[in-house]
């Protein structure tokens, strides 16, 4: 598990796909914030690699605007100290010939910045470019298995690779990518990123569950009725129509296959034997293995797809998905997906997990809601009749925004009679710790520099996650749905998702 005291060794972070959005919006602002927090190694450099010709200065200029917007602690003076560590190299990483000059550039920077031979290779590019890039990295001899490479020093060195999602578009393509990676890198050098694992509240789940005695005894089928995980966004596809309207796009593949199944795995995992990365990842993998196959006949009951039509976003009229740039005007892509997952294990038998995610929804919010079972004996029957039933106890874990945890239970209304009302105990992350949670990418980049894989996914987790969603994704592709778009932008998604819940006698938690 991340250990703040662990020393970070000097290194260079090489970002492939550096002219893309992620570099500007997340990677550079996060590295800059780490610099502000004095968490970067003493000697450090970043090298952006893309095809577009650019000088170092032009690249820095291209990053500045977004750094001002997205870094948590921007100021001109500190940026002026940080920027000289950032460099740029134009090259096409799908071409083997590009790697001679690239290696020479890395060696030159390693000398200039005294970073030694430690390198993080960050693939932040179109997913079809992953394989040729990995093959070329291997063929160019950039992975030295601990031996010195740039010949700057003779210390044992490391080369690690971070790979962005989408990691494959189904189980077979993910397994193939894992094999390609495995021919070049050891598993301990492969960092498959899922930025939800870097979110402070998701990590806090481990502490909440395993550092406290009061929750774990009730964290099972005897007390829990069902669990909901919602990741709702108010944004549309934000100029990413081309990617989103492809086989690895859509809410099911883009969000549920990765982020939501990971959150579910953390909620549902058994206590790990130790806090070591492999022990934690093994327990998460076991949850995913336990998820029941969704057979074709079950899909209409267990999965709902939606697509937004024109509507409102925070008071402004916005177009429908099919009118977005780069999207097929007859697109069948799901901008909303809801999925019911059953984990066939001793702990979770009979407890459904309902996962849903959508774009252009009513509110930006990611939350986990644990619904508890009713009391075994209804002592307050009369009051329950008045209130239309006693609401179940709930633990609401706000992943973002307003990070925190709320426990909802029944309390007695003061005064005569035994009237009751739902009340809340509230833990607010910002109020309690007087700090804004760090950006997930900053946490994860630092972990990769420290060699800590806890918050990165093991190959088996990714392949299992594809196994869970793949039958649904394929069924949807093969069977167009006539009523799309089926929800207006700015709402909580299609009514079919409410019907799915109502069929089970439940309803979504829509704050």
The least CB distance from residue 120 to ligand BG6, in Å, is 20
Q: What are phi and psi of 41, to 5 degrees?
A: -60, 160
Report d(CA 496, CA 230) in Å as an integer: 16
Name the 3-class secondary structure at 273: coil
Report the residue number, 116 or 358, with the smaller CB distance to ligand BG6: 358
Report the residue number, 254 or 324, with the smaller CB distance to ligand BG6: 254
| Two tokens, residue 407 | 């426990």
The least CB distance from residue 357 to ligand BG6, in Å, is 9
Report the residue number, 165 or 408, with the smaller CB distance to ligand BG6: 165
Which residue spans within 189-250 are E strands per DSSP? 190-192, 224-232
Q: Are 14 and 121 in contact (CB under 8 A)?
A: yes
**Terminal-residue alpha carbon distance, the chain:** 33
Q: Are 142 and 103 in contact (CB under 8 A)?
A: yes
The least CB distance from residue 399 to ligand BG6, in Å, is 8
Q: What is the DSSP letter of 84?
A: G
Per the residue annotation, which of 87, 113, 226, 259 is the catalytic one?
259
Report the residue number, 113 or 195, with the smaller CB distance to ligand BG6: 195
Report d(CA 87, CA 59) in Å as an integer: 7
Q: Are 224 and 371 in contact (CB under 8 A)?
A: yes
Burial of 262 (0-12, 13-18, 19+ CB in 10 A): buried
Q: What are phi and psi of 252, to 5 degrees?
A: -65, -50
Helix ranges (DSSP H) in 122-170: 130-139
Report d(CA 262, CA 285) in Å as an integer: 9
The least CB distance from residue 165 to ligand BG6, in Å, is 6
Helix or strand (DSSP H, E) at 179: helix 171-184
The least CB distance from residue 298 to ligand BG6, in Å, is 27
Q: Which residues bind ligand BG6 (CB under 6 A)?
A: 165, 195, 233, 254, 366
Q: Are 73 and 30 in contact (CB under 8 A)?
A: no
Report the residue number, 136 or 366, with the smaller CB distance to ligand BG6: 366
Of 265, 259, 343, 321, the closest CA to residue 494 belongs to: 321
Report the residue number, 62 or 165, with the smaller CB distance to ligand BG6: 165
Dump the DSSP string for 326-391: T--TT----SEEEEEEEB-STTTTT-EEEEEEESSBSS-EEEEEEEEPPPSS-TTHHHHHHTTSPP
* Counts of helices then strands in the chain (DSSP H, E): 18, 18
Instruction: Give residues with Cβ within 8 angstroms of 218, minimum separation 6.
Output: 224, 372
The least CB distance from residue 440 to ligand BG6, in Å, is 7
Report the residue number, 238 or 382, with the smaller CB distance to ligand BG6: 238
Report the residue number, 366 or 454, with the smaller CB distance to ligand BG6: 366
Query: Cα–Cα distances in Å, from 163 out to 114, 192, 223, 255?
Result: 26, 5, 39, 16
Is residue 259 annotated as part of the catalytic site, yes or no?
A: yes
Report the residue number, 251 or 294, with the smaller CB distance to ligand BG6: 251
Report the residue number, 36 or 365, with the smaller CB distance to ligand BG6: 365
Residue whose beta carbon is closest to ligand BG6: 254
Helix ranges (DSSP H) in 185-321: 200-210, 241-244, 251, 261-268, 277-290, 299-302
Q: Are 239 and 365 in contact (CB under 8 A)?
A: no
The least CB distance from residue 97 to ligand BG6, in Å, is 32
- The residues carrying an active-site annotation are 259
């Amino acid at each position: 598990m991340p250990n703040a005291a662990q020393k970070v060794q000097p290194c260079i972070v090489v970002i492939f796909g550096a002219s893309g959005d992620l570099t500007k919006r997340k990677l550079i602002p996060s590295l800059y914030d780490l610099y502000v927090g004095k968490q970067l190694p003493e000697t450090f450099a970043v090298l952006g690699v893309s095809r577009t010709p650019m000088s170092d200065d032009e690249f820095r200029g291209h990053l500045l605007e977004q750094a001002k917007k997205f870094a948590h602690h921007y100021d001109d003076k500190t940026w002026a100290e940080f920027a000289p560590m950032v460099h740029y190299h134009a090259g096409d990483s799908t071409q083997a010939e590009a790697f001679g000059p690239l290696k020479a550039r890395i060696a030159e920077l390693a000398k200039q910045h005294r970073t030694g031979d430690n390198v993080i290779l960050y693939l932040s590019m179109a997913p079809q470019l992953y394989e040729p890039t990995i093959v070329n990295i291997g063929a160019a001899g950039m992975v030295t298995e601990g031996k010195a490479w740039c010949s700057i020093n003779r210390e044992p060195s490391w080369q690690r690779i971070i790979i962005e999602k989408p990691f494959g578009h189904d189980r077979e393509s993910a397994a193939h990518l894992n094999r390609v990676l495995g021919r070049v890198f050891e598993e301990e050098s492969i960092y498959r990123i899922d930025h939800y694992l870097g979110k402070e509240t998701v990590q806090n789940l481990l502490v909440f569950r395993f550092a406290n005695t009061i929750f774990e005894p009730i964290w099972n089928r005897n007390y829990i009725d069902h669990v909901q995980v919602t990741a709702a966004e108010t944004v549309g596809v934000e100029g990413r129509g081309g990617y989103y309207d492809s086989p690895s796009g859509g809410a099911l593949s883009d969000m549920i296959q990765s982020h939501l199944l990971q959150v579910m795995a953390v909620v549902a995992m058994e206590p790990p034997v130790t806090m070591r990365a492999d022990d934690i990842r093994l327990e998460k993998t076991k949850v995913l293995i336990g998820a029941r196959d969704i057979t074709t006949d079950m899909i209409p009951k267990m999965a709902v797809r939606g697509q937004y039509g024109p509507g409102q976003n925070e008071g402004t009229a916005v177009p429908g998905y099919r009118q977005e740039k780069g999207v097929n005007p007859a697109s069948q892509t799901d901008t909303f997906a809801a999925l019911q997952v059953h984990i066939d294990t001793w702990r979770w038998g009979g407890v459904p997990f309902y996962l849903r995610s959508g774009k252009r929804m009513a509110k930006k919010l990611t939350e986990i809601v644990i619904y508890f079972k009713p009391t075994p004996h209804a002592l307050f029957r009369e009051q329950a009749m008045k209130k239309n039933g006693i609401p179940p106890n709930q633990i609401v874990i706000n992943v973002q925004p307003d990070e925190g945890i709320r426990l909802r239970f029944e309390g007695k209304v003061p005064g005569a009679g035994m009237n009751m009302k739902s009340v809340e105990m509230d833990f607010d992350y910002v109020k309690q710790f007087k700090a804004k949670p760090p950006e997930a990418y900053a946490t994860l980049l630092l972990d990769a520099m420290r060699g800590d894989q806890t918050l990165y996914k093991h190959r088996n987790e990714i392949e299992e996650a594809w196994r869970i969603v793949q039958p649904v994704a394929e069924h949807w592709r093969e069977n167009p749905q006539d009523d799309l778009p089926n929800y207006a932008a700015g709402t909580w998604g299609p009514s079919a998702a409410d019907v799915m819940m109502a069929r089970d006698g439940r309803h979504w938690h829509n704050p």
